[in-house]
Structure 1
Amino acid sequence: MAGRKRTPDHLKVVAGTDRPDRMNPDAPKPAASMPEAPDWLSARGAEIFDQLVAIVGAMGIGSSSDAAMLALASSRLEEVEICTAMIEDGGRTFVSNVTYDDQGRVASQQIKGHPAVAQRSEAMRHAQSLLSEFGLSPAARSKVSVNTPDEQNPFAALG
Structure 2
Amino acid sequence: MARPRKDPAVKKLRGTLRKDREPKALAPIATGGIAGPMVAPVPLTPRALEHFDVIAGMLAREGRASQQFAYTVAILAQRIDQAEQLQATIVDEGRTYETTSDNGTMYRARPEVAMLSDALRHQQALLSELMLSPTAAQRIARTDTPKGNAFAGL
TM-score tier (shorter)? 0.5 to 0.7
Q: Give the match for residue 58 of structure 2.
A: 55
Letter in structure 1 aligned against 2:64? I
Question: Aligned to 2:38, what secondary structure does the other structure show?
Answer: coil
Equivalents in 2 of 1:113, 1:48: separation in Å?
A: 29
Q: Give the match for residue 130 of structure 1.
A: 126
Q: Give the match for residue 78 of structure 2.
A: 75
How far the C-alpha of 1:77 sits from its partner, in A, is 0.7
Q: Give the match for residue 117 of structure 1.
A: 113
How far the C-alpha of 1:108 sits from its partner, in A, is 2.0
Q: Give the match for residue 29 of structure 1.
A: 32
Q: Which runs of 5+ in 1 are unaligned?
A: 1-13, 19-26, 100-106, 146-159
Q: Give the match for residue 43 of structure 1.
A: 46
Q: Which runs of 5+ in 2 are unaligned?
A: 1-24, 142-154
CA contact (8 A) 1:73 1:127 kept: yes
The Cα offsets for residues 13-63 of structure 1, whole Å up to 9 and x where unpaired, read as x855x9xxxxxxxx9821111211234111001000000001111111110
TM-score by length of 1: 0.66
How far the C-alpha of 1:144 sits from its partner, in A, is 3.1
Equivalents in 2 of 1:116, 1:138: separation in Å?
A: 28
Q: Give the match for residue 137 of structure 2.
A: 141
TM-score by length of 2: 0.68
Equivalents in 2 of 1:142, 1:60: separation in Å?
A: 17
> How large is the RMSD of aligned CA atoms in angstroms?
2.3
How many residue pairs match? The answer is 116
Runs of 4+ in 1 over 6 A off after TM superposition: none
Equivalents in 2 of 1:111, 1:29: separation in Å?
A: 52
CA contact (8 A) 2:98 2:107 kept: yes
